[in-house]
Structure 1
Amino acid sequence: MESTSQEGDARLATLCTRLGRLWSEQDVDVWDEAAPAEMLAECQLILVGKVLSNPSINFQAFQNTLKRAWRNDKVDITQREEGLYAFKFKSATEKQRLLDNNQWLFSNHLVIVKPWIPNTPLHCYDFTTCALWVQVFGLPLERCIEEMISKIVQNIGNVQEVKIEGREGMTLRAGRARVELNLQEPLKPGKLIRLEGRNIWLDFRYERLSHYCYSCGVIGHHAMYCKTIPYDEMKLDGKDNFSYGQWLRVEVREHSSF
């Protein structure tokens, strides 16, 4: 937190210097009074959201879709700034339920929600991260334990939760982890591990995966609109040479090209 404070002070000093005669540190109004208690209580029930890639959307359809998905007709949804939304709930329990399952789609676009942050303008909220459920495929049966799954996915983001699912008494189980991903970085298609001298490739499959680029692997756009790796450059000898594909989706029962 100290480094963040120092960065903020440095930015303020730079701003004052650039403004020169128009502005000085003496012109800064210092307000140390606490916000009204009723406003603080109201904000405690608010989530701030953004639709990734900021598509042009029908606001009424957006409201109806989310209310159905959340099974909550009483949440108040308002558009506060371009591409930013406020979701006000009737109780802290309702709000927390949404945060605990923070992975929602509208028209296959990722909807990111964040808790209210005191003294922070809406345009300063960070929507570059989101927690997604990642399933691991290809692990030997005897290795499918929580410790192993956590170790496997730790290099793709902050691991928040790990679950091993399967019928009671059955050896055949599947491992999944909720991982906070940096949405500005490419999705990881998998991981190569070595078990007792044998190399094994593990596929990662992402639950409820929104639009993502088959060229660069970043969520939020399609390959034809990719600025990092132009679409035509991915074609060799008339065949697509994509490093990413539909196999990253959980619902697609297909092994990756790796």
Structure 2
Amino acid sequence: MEEITERCAGIKLSSREEAEVTIHETEPMDGLVLIGKFFTKRRINMEFVYRVLKMVWKMEKTFEASDLGENKVMFRFQKKDDLDRVLFLCPWSFDKYLLLLHKLERGEAVKDIKFNKSLFWVQIHGLPTMCQTKAVGLSIGETLGGVERVDANEKEFCLGNFIRIRVLIDISMPLCRGWKVRLGEQGLKWVDFKYERLPIFCYLCGRVDHDEQDCLQGLRSKEILRPEEKQLAHGFVRHRKNSKNR
């Protein structure tokens, strides 16, 4: 890529190519566009994708879907409430693989979208009951990514056996199985993370942007890894089974 850039930099433009084109201000987009990327090596069938998502998303109005290539799709909605609902219920999976959605803003180009972050609901297990507060959820969640929400009541307390947080996670990094948390006089404790609606992911390196068959770590390994050597062999499997896939 750098070599191509250097070559282009050395190209001398003709007089016609040096001419500037002035673009008059166009009508702004209505903001009802999502760009989706399917994290699967299989070529997606647009007709099948449209039919399944139309049934699963259960919208009031219909939507349009355009194939952008490289397993990327543009979804254009007719109603803002439908788009907001689809984003609110993220993450989505298709054929058990992650479907990452990005709301296209004015001035953005699809080629510049990185598709490296996804929202997940994460359950934090193992904390003392009285420590299950919104503040604790925020503190732990910020180590995972950007915290969008902590599921707490009006007194900022998390009812139940765990804290539930919604976090924007960098999917180019391995998922964390848990964290060490120091709780004042109670000392150091280990807390487990359980990811809701977790799609197919790689048990070797812990990333959700590919599966075990496409893992470079696995391909570079000369020997078949034993179960205990797999990054996520212990813990995450049962979390996926306990989650509902959309």
TM-score category (smaller protein): 0.7 to 0.9
* Structure 1 residue 241, shift from structure 2 partner: 1.7
3-state DSSP of counterpart to 1:112? strand
For residues 97-119 of structure 1, give each alpha carbon's deviation from its aligned partner in whole angstroms, at most 9, with x where no partner exists. Answer: 22222311100111111112223
Match of 2:134 among 126, 139, 146: 146
State the alpha-carbon separation in 2 of the partners of residues 45 and 123 from structure 1: 18
Segments of structure 1 that go 5 or more residues without pairing to the other structure are 1-10, 254-258
CA contact (8 A) 2:152 2:158 kept: no
Letter in 2 for 1:235: L
Provide the residue aligned with 1:6 in structure 2. none
Provide the residue aligned with 2:58 in structure 1. 71
State the alpha-carbon separation in 1 of the partners of residues 77 and 159 from structure 2: 42
Provide the residue aligned with 2:49 in structure 1. 62
Provide the residue aligned with 2:36 in structure 1. 49
Provide the residue aligned with 2:225 in structure 1. 235
Provide the residue aligned with 2:203 in structure 1. 214
State the alpha-carbon separation in 2 of the partners of residues 182 and 170 from structure 1: 25
C-alpha change, 1:31 and 1:110, in structure 2 (3 Å) is farther
Provide the residue aligned with 1:186 in structure 2. 174
CA contact (8 A) 1:134 1:206 kept: yes
* Structure 1 residue 250, shift from structure 2 partner: 3.4
Moved more, 101-110 or 68-77: 68-77
Match of 2:83 among 83, 87, 95: 95
State the alpha-carbon separation in 2 of the partners of residues 109 and 251 from structure 1: 12
State the alpha-carbon separation in 2 of the partners of residues 233 and 143 from structure 1: 44
C-alpha change, 1:244 and 1:127, in structure 2 (3 Å) is same
The higher-RCO structure (CA 8 Å, 6+ apart) is: 2
Match of 2:20 among 29, 51, 76: 29
* Structure 1 residue 234, shift from structure 2 partner: 6.4
CA contact (8 A) 2:126 2:162 kept: no
State the alpha-carbon separation in 2 of the partners of residues 220 and 185 from structure 1: 9
For residues 90-148 of structure 1, give each alpha carbon's deviation from its aligned partner in whole angstroms, at most 9, with x where no partner exists. Answer: 11222122222231110011111111222333222221111111111111111111111
C-alpha change, 1:185 and 1:121, in structure 2 (3 Å) is same
Segments of structure 2 that go 5 or more residues without pairing to the other structure are none
1:117 has 2:105 as partner: yes
State the alpha-carbon separation in 2 of the partners of residues 136 and 129 from structure 1: 20
State the alpha-carbon separation in 2 of the partners of residues 136 and 18 from structure 1: 51
* Structure 1 residue 150, shift from structure 2 partner: 1.2
Aligned-residue sequence identity (percent) comes to 24
1:174 has 2:178 as partner: no
Q: CA RMSD in A?
A: 2.9
**Count of matched residue pairs:** 231
C-alpha change, 1:28 and 1:80, in structure 2 (3 Å) is farther
State the alpha-carbon separation in 2 of the partners of residues 67 and 246 from structure 1: 36
